[in-house]
Amino acid sequence: MGKIIGIDLGTTNSCVAVLDGGEAKVIENAEGDRTTPSIIAYASDGETLVGQPAKRQAVTNPHNTLFAIKRLIGRQFKDDVVQKDIKMVPYKIIEADNGDAWVEVNGEKMSPPQIAAQVLMKMKKTAEDFLGQPVTEAVVTVPAYFNDSQRQATKDAGKIAGLDVKRIINEPTAAALAYGMDKKAGDSTIAVYDLGGGTFDISIIEIAETDGEHTFEVLSTNGDTFLGGEDFDLRLIDYLADEFKKESGMDLHNDPLALQRLKEAAEKAKIELSSAQSTEVNLPYITADASGPKHLVQKLTRAKFESLVEELVERTLGPLKMALADADLEVSAIDDVILVGGQTRMPLVQKKVTEFFGKEPRHDVNPDEAVAVGAAIQAGVLSGDVNDVLLLDVTPLSLGIETMGGVASMLIDKNTTIPTKKTQVFSTADDNQTAVTIHVVQGERKQAAQNKSLGRFDLSDIPPSPRGMPQIEVAFDLDANGILNVSAKDKATGKEQSIVIKASSGLSDEEIEKMVKDAEANSAEDKKFEELITARNTADGMIHATKKTLEEAGDKATDEEKDAINTAITELEEAVKGDDVAAMEAKTKALTDASGNLAQKMYAEAQAAETAAGAGAAEEGGSAENSDAVDAEFEEVQEEEKEEEK
């Protein structure tokens, strides 16, 4: 059985981890980074870029570079968050036929799961490269406040990426697992303070222990989806640019290169100030004017930086209070506070959190990776690699039906551990009513219309009788995968109706199936494309190298050899223009063979020259300069030889 990987699918960055020999290990991607920007770009030549490369080309392709897709996933177009997002992103958010928020790229409509799948595919590939075996199963984390359709949409994204998402778990739960919170005996209540790159989340979790099994319940969550570490950087950049303007009168905001350098330097300074009391931002040649180059040298103390961003840190305290109030808890009821997200490395953040909770927060797990590590541990539990943890999932929102007067009557309360089954008997509201509509809703509101409608069906042919007489038994059966089966049975006639509700992400199974196929087809195409590029590059390299050899050592070749080489070059050049990989490879081989003789000759001569130069008896006088030149030539020939061997 293959490994199950743990993926932290973040708004700004994503991270993948796997359990390796009992330890969760974060895997580096192809670029050598432990986290991957959650950015996807669709280039004009049809290529899809994910992560760092997508980020780098963003300026050239703003309309087709998608970021923060997590804010859209599983949401309706009319949703407030989506409407706010539309004003902030350069790409086009549109309303799909079913009312969902979709994105338009190159004139093509795409669903958020389809786009998020690209990130998941990259994470999958990262894991596969590391493990050396295919990966088909994953645990993916989502924010605790995600509703059913957002969770289902995340699952769909996994499916499109070729991953069977075994479990969706809450990010704070994953973080708590990474901190080993499940190892403690007895019940405890913890607060997870997650200040990431672009979002802030606070969650209050209750861990209950029964017979050594731990259940994690998210009591409440709160946060700010538009506050994160990037805002801290921005404050610092603005400050440095302002100071520079005061000194030199030049505004760095107008110079993209200077701004980019400043951005990098600001981030570095921010990180340094987490451990040092002061640092120096040193950017020579940051810009230039008529009087010559300008340098930016600025001393920065931790106190100064803290004064710049204190307001941002204060802003996290509001949601903290709200979350506690929602969970109906006093600050003193919190047993542990854990920190997640890179920005929590900042001493000021730690200090404020300590002040607020009256206890030291824990930050001994890398805050950028805690969530992915927790997901990997959960994956280990599912695959049987970890035995000492039992994690039970809970439903995040209450489930019930609409009853008289549009009231939502809940059958399954939120935070009930799943799988679970509940039945309740209802009756009719009118005399001689022969049919009832079972309208299944999800949410915490009392009014059914305010909650999310999951589906409805009718139970008819109820024998006419006074209101309140018929007994209709409604059963809710929620399985471990969050799939809800609702049935209604008229106890008098035994007639039964039921509906299976797979929390829908707004995508039908057929649509998902199609996207899965598209993704597979594209991966085949991508591979072809990669092969083509490789072949073309090899061919180009060979042409260039041979031409150079001919130029430098053409006099050593016979005319026949030269002709053969030139013909081979022309043919290869022709092949490179086309798209035929096989032809390119064949012609490359032909050219390699043709130039082989010449290279050998050169090699032999170079060796002779080397010996001559060494003896100091060469005509040139064997000066240092000359022997240098021979040396260089000698090495070049060797390179040729190596290329041939390939």
- Tokens matching residue 572: 């290869």
Interface ranges with another protein (CB under 8 A): 31-32, 41, 43-44, 49, 53-54, 56-60, 256-257, 260-261, 284-285, 293
DSSP summary character for residue 222: E
Which of 472, 499, 507, 459 lies closest to 483, judged by CA?
499
In the chain, the amino acid numbered 172 is P
Nearest approach, Cβ of residue 285 and another protein (Å): 4
Q: How far is the CB of 56 from another protein (least distance, A)?
A: 4
Which CB, 31 or 430, lies closer to another protein? 31
| Nearer of residues 272 and 306 to another protein, judged by Cβ | 272
Least Å from the CB of residue 32 to another protein: 6
- Catalytic residue (choose from 85, 100, 137, 171): 171
DSSP per residue, 564-615: HHHHHHHHHHHHHHS--HHHHHHHHHHHHHHHHHHHHHHHHHHHHHHHHHHH
Is the CB of 293 or the CB of 406 nearer to another protein? 293
Q: Shortest Cβ distance from residue 53 to another protein (Å)?
A: 4
Quote the CA–CA distance of 206 and 200 in Å, as a whole number. Answer: 20
Q: Of the two residues 56 and 556, which places its CB atom closer to another protein in the complex?
A: 56
Let me know how long the chain is: 646
Least distance from another protein to the Cβ atom of residue 585, Å: 21
Which of 8, 137, 148, 156 is the catalytic position?
Answer: 8
Of 156, 194, 217, 640, catalytic: 194
Q: Where would I find the H helices in 249-369?
A: 256-272, 302-315, 317-327, 347-357
Question: In the chain, what's the furthest Cα-to-Cα distance?
Answer: 122
Cβ contacts of 617 within 8 Å, gap of 6 or more: none
- Using the minimum distance from each CB to another protein, give the nearer residue, 53 or 419: 53
Question: What is the residue-wise DSSP string for 15-39?
Answer: EEEEEETTEEEEPP-TTS-SSEE-E
If the CB atoms of residues 258 and 273 are measured against another protein, the closer one turns out to be: 258
Residue 66 pairs with which residues in a beta bridge?
40
* Active-site annotation holds for 171: yes
Catalytic residue status for 70: yes
DSSP class per residue in 197-219: SS-EEEEEEEEEEETTEEEEEEE
Give kind and range of the element (H or E) at residue 223: strand 213-224
Residue 259 CB, shortest distance to another protein, in Å, is 9
**Rounded Cα distance, 157 and 141, in Å:** 12
Dist CA 597 CA 599 (whole Å): 5
What is the DSSP code (8-state) at residue 463?
A: P
Is 194 among the catalytic positions? Answer: yes
What is the nearest approach in angstroms of another protein to the Cβ of residue 293?
Answer: 7
Q: Active-site residue 129, yes or no?
A: no
**Annotated active-site positions, please?**
8, 70, 171, 194
